[in-house]
Structure 1
Amino acid sequence: MRKIQLTVLALLPRSLSQRLPLLVITAYLLGAFVSAWTMYGFFQRSSALTYAETSGDLLRDLLNRDTWQDLTEGDVVTSGRFKLRRHLRLQDDLPPYSVPLILVIDDERLRAAVAFERPPQLPQALSASTEEQSASARLAELSRGIARQDQTAQLHVFMSEDVLLTISAPTIWQSRPGQTRVALLGFAAFAIGLSLVVPLALNLAGPFAKLAERGPVTGSADPLASSEAYLIRDKIDRLTNRFQVEQESKERNLAAISHDLRTPVTRLRLRTELLTDDALRDRFESDLDEVSSIIDGALDLLSIRSQPEESFRFSLASLLESLVSDYSDTGKNVAFVSPDEVELRSAMSIFTSAEDVTVRTDNACMMQGQPDKLRRAFSNLIDNALKYGGRAIVEVKPVSKDMLCVGIRDFGPGIDPDQIARVQMPFVRGHSQQPERGVGLGLSIAGELIELHGGTLEFTNMEQGGLLVSALVSRGVIA
């Protein structure tokens, strides 16, 4: 199938603006052809049935003695779409699928048979009605019944022992697909057309799907890629490179400014020591501490992705439990909720009785990443929870085979939903009643570190009060 598509695409122009109209025209013509063929099949059969059910008088005239008595062996008479041939007798045996009949014409009962090439689909349609009918009505009903079989047939009428009349109708009693078969063939043709057109359309859009995924359009000779796709790719590459250069230049300039600010800050500290007013000196030192914190935080935020750290395979649950223990050792109100625990019952032996055993499933939270950076990210989130809520609850659980979720809940006032995006920006601080001060970089640094591990931060205000920060972290490649 792909070879056929590539062969077709090789014949098409390279420009997508020319390919798409051709594809639309092809799909339209294909649909029109399938629809026309299907409707023609229905119309042809319907016309044959209509003509057959109005042909009673024609058949009655053909079977009239005045019509055939002067004919010799093999002579043919035509009336409308019907042909009558006279024979002295039946030359060969009737086909095995013939249906014998009795026809009453001019009060004379005549033996007859309808010869088919294969078993008739609706043999009951050849039977006479239970009500009294004229010869013309019976012949019209029989003609329509033969036409409904959708196969070539002949009507043999034995007028006497030495006279046999054979009636045929090549355009009515002929082999043709029935309505069900026509519908199925039309549907099959439509499905085959879709199987050719739809993959072709998807292949034309394939290069743009790759661009949307930030992936390269492979190979300049790829017949699936249009010329517009390569122009877009080249423009995106140039814009990406330009943005990368400008971003690196800005980061270097900001890092240089922040680094250069340390020297005057150091001189100000030395001069502050010379102040004799203790209250004034304390205010100066407090302001200088804040400036130093801003400088250190800015340098840290700018260089956080470039800080080297080896990637390890570790348990995120164990890392968080250790971090929470450090907070608890310093008197901070931080609790850790372990991953799902499995309750088992130990086996009973002659020495011991059966007891309930709790098994920790830390292996469910294994991941590949940089533990020091994650430890710092979750430390910042816990610090925020303590600052704004007084206490924190930390929970970790797997949410899929590729992602882990760490939830850190505080019991503070929460965040206005309109301010959630704003508080994640650098140097933006939330409203706190605590005396601790900050520079507003904790969430920004945490977000950068979580994003570095393929995750995101989500903020949810709890109905019972407090804020839940959910950090989704990718497991990474675990060997």
Structure 2
Amino acid sequence: MNTLASLRIGGTFLVMSAFWLGLIAASLWFTSNARWTAHLNDARFAGAVLYESLESSGTPPQGIDIQTLAPADQALAATGRFEAISDVPQSARVTNFSIRPSPTGGRTANPLTVAILSSDLRYPLANVSTRSGQTSAETLGALTSLLATYCSNPVLIAQLGEGPWVRIEGQQVWNCSVAPKDLRLFAVALALVSVGILTTIVLNSSAQFQGFAQMLRARNKIGGPESYEANGPFELRDIVSAVNGYLEVERDRLAERVAVLSGVSHDLGTPATRLKLRTALIQDSELRAKLESDIDAMTGIIESVLTYTRAELDAEQPRRISLTSLIESVVADYQDVGSPVEFHAAEKVTIEGGQSVFMSRRGTRTLPPDDKVVVNARPVALNRAVSNLIDNALKYGRRAKIGLEKDADSAVITIEDEGGSMTIQDIEDLMAPFKRGSNTKLIGGHGLGLTIVSTIAKMHGGSLKFEPAANGGLLAKITIQRQ
């Protein structure tokens, strides 16, 4: 399923959608914030007017009802048993608040004692705003503003100075039903959802591009696809289509090269045979040997180029094989003709056990070597790569020692020689096509052996490297991926 039909069109739509969603979220936030500010200011104003009403026994502000407590409740309030007063919330929690006298208009205001009864919470009185020179009416207004902040429907029991205790109910001021709907959390959620959707789509599109890039990097691994599926936005599908077209053209070109070289090799076979027959009639043995050498070199070069191009074409189908068995088979072929080639298999591993109840000495156990190094590979190509490196080791280093290392992800075939005059830089330079060493007159070859080995290693998702060996020689390493 495609995340976006097109990055250009879909990206523009996403940017515009994010802009409008952000605008809506900001509008909801500021509108809700303004309504809440107005609601709290109204509660603050009502609290200030309430104090003046208590002090002058006048009419309370709109939305607030004041009733004098019955004699029995007066006694309970005087002793601080506010939760026992009739018609108060069940299991009420009491928050006590006192307003100290402050000079107002040249006179001293009466102290006000307030008990806030709520079934939900005790109010954090530390949040009641105060300032220097604040009047008692302003302090009571700050208290009612705090009550309006919380949706809890409290009942106030208050006493001004030495006057009677009164019950104050302000459902129209601080009740939950009159509070404006707070949309600020919804605005934040809307903004987060819009950002989350935008981020998810962008990350998914980016992951599709990165996934295709990783598939291209793993192109040379065994089992790589001949073409790729066109999933994702239009731009990615266009890129995938172009890559598939390029790969198809390259495969056709390689196939044409192989066909041309095969034809040339076949066509040269007949005249080369005639040349050999005619060369045999030459009486001068030295001249005859030189001509036969030139003919063999010519046909050998053609066969080497054909082998290299077939390796690039990657025509052999991969299958599961035992890498250990393949190496043993190659080494056995060399040993049969007396070549100094040997294979060092994995050694047995000895582990120490725990102490027994009946014996104080720890036991030991030998684990069999893991000779089942199974890989998904092209056996003919690998056989050719190992044989080429063994041939080089015998030519330049007199002896070849084969090893096999492995881990969970890769297997490494090592070929070690006994050393010669060539350095690591010299041998790496020979990996270029038709590049040969300085001793070309003494050692045969056409300069494509290491190039073919490197191509086969890359075909298996690995590489060909050279390192100094412990005995002073060179150590060649073919790394292939295990799948």
SS at match of 1:393: strand
Mapping 1:116-131, distance limit 5 Å: 116=118, 118-120=120-122, 122=124
Counterpart CA distance in 2 for 1:433 and 1:41 is 89
Answer with 288-297 or 241-250: which moved more.
Answer: 241-250
**AA aligned opposite 2:261:** L
**Which residue number in structure 1 is paired with residue 346 of structure 2?**
339
**Which residue number in structure 1 is paired with residue 15 of structure 2?**
24
How far does residue 438 in structure 1 lie from its aligned partner after superposition? 0.6
Give ranges in structure 2 of 5+ residues lacking alignment: 71-84, 102-107, 216-224, 354-361
**AA aligned opposite 1:381:** L
**Which residue number in structure 2 is paired with residue 93 of structure 1?**
87
Counterpart CA distance in 2 for 1:148 and 1:384 is 87
SS at match of 1:201: helix
**Which residue number in structure 2 is paired with residue 300 of structure 1?**
307
SS at match of 2:343: strand
How far does residue 338 in structure 1 lie from its aligned partner after superposition? 1.9
CA distance 1:312–1:100, shift in 2 (3 Å): closer
Counterpart CA distance in 1 for 2:434 and 2:64 is 103
Q: What are the Cα deviations for residues 328-381 of structure 1, in whole angstroms up to 9, with x where unaligned?
A: 5555444433225222699xxxxxxx9988654244412344544422221111
Counterpart CA distance in 2 for 1:115 and 1:235 is 76
CA contact (8 A) 2:49 2:137 kept: no
Across the aligned residues of Structure 1 and Structure 2, the Cα RMSD in angstroms comes to 4.9
**Which residue number in structure 2 is paired with residue 388 of structure 1?**
396
Counterpart CA distance in 1 for 2:441 and 2:336 is 21
Q: What are the Cα deviations for residues 390-411 of structure 1, in whole angstroms up to 9, with x where unaligned?
A: 43332212221x5322122343
Higher relative contact order (CA 8 A, sep 6+): 2
TM-score by length of 2: 0.69
Counterpart CA distance in 2 for 1:177 and 1:386 is 89
Q: What are the Cα deviations for residues 202-234 of structure 1, in whole angstroms up to 9, with x where unaligned?
A: 55567656755475446xxxxx74444554444
CA contact (8 A) 1:336 1:393 kept: yes
Counterpart CA distance in 2 for 1:45 and 1:387 is 91
SS at match of 2:61: strand
Q: Given the alignment, which residue of 61, 79, 87 partners 1:77? A: 61
Counterpart CA distance in 2 for 1:52 and 1:409 is 92
Counterpart CA distance in 1 for 2:475 and 2:143 is 83
Mapping 1:6-405, distance limit 5 Å: 14-30=5-21, 59=47, 62-64=50-52, 68-71=56-59, 76-77=60-61, 84-89=64-69, 93-95=87-89, 96-105=92-101, 106=108, 108-116=110-118, 118-120=120-122, 122=124, 135=136, 139=140, 142=143, 146=147, 155-159=156-160, 160-161=163-164, 164-166=167-169, 170=173, 192-204=193-205, 212=213, 213=215, 216-217=228-229, 225-303=232-310, 313-328=320-335, 330=337, 332-343=339-350, 360-400=368-408, 402-405=409-412
Counterpart CA distance in 2 for 1:369 and 1:46 is 74
The answer on 1:459 being equivalent to 2:468 is no
How far does residue 171 in structure 1 lie from its aligned partner after superposition? 8.0
Counterpart CA distance in 2 for 1:127 and 1:234 is 68
Counterpart CA distance in 2 for 1:151 and 1:356 is 75
Q: What are the Cα deviations for residues 95-136 of structure 1, in whole angstroms up to 9, with x where unaligned?
A: 32442444445564544222446213636657999x999735
**Which residue number in structure 1 is paired with residue 433 of structure 2?**
426
Q: What are the Cα deviations for residues 187-211 of structure 1, in whole angstroms up to 9, with x where unaligned?
A: 7655544543334335556765675
CA distance 1:370–1:260, shift in 2 (3 Å): same
Counterpart CA distance in 1 for 2:457 and 2:365 is 35
How far does residue 314 in structure 1 lie from its aligned partner after superposition? 4.2
How far does residue 46 in structure 1 lie from its aligned partner after superposition? 8.6
CA distance 1:284–1:367, shift in 2 (3 Å): same
SS at match of 1:472: strand
TM-score by length of 1: 0.70
**AA aligned opposite 2:201:** L
SS at match of 1:469: strand
SS at match of 1:157: strand
**AA aligned opposite 1:269:** K
Counterpart CA distance in 2 for 1:233 and 1:458 is 30
How far does residue 382 in structure 1 lie from its aligned partner after superposition? 1.6
How far does residue 287 in structure 1 lie from its aligned partner after superposition? 2.0
CA distance 1:28–1:385, shift in 2 (3 Å): farther
CA contact (8 A) 1:261 1:295 kept: no
**Which residue number in structure 2 is paired with residue 349 of structure 1?**
none
Counterpart CA distance in 2 for 1:328 and 1:109 is 113
CA contact (8 A) 1:255 1:302 kept: no
CA distance 1:24–1:363, shift in 2 (3 Å): farther
CA contact (8 A) 1:450 1:471 kept: yes
CA contact (8 A) 2:6 2:233 kept: yes
Percent identity (aligned)? 25
Q: What are the Cα deviations for residues 279-313 of structure 1, in whole angstroms up to 9, with x where unaligned?
A: 33222222222112112222333445889978765
Counterpart CA distance in 1 for 2:19 and 2:236 is 25
CA contact (8 A) 2:454 2:463 kept: yes
CA distance 1:382–1:77, shift in 2 (3 Å): same
How far does residue 61 in structure 1 lie from its aligned partner after superposition? 5.7
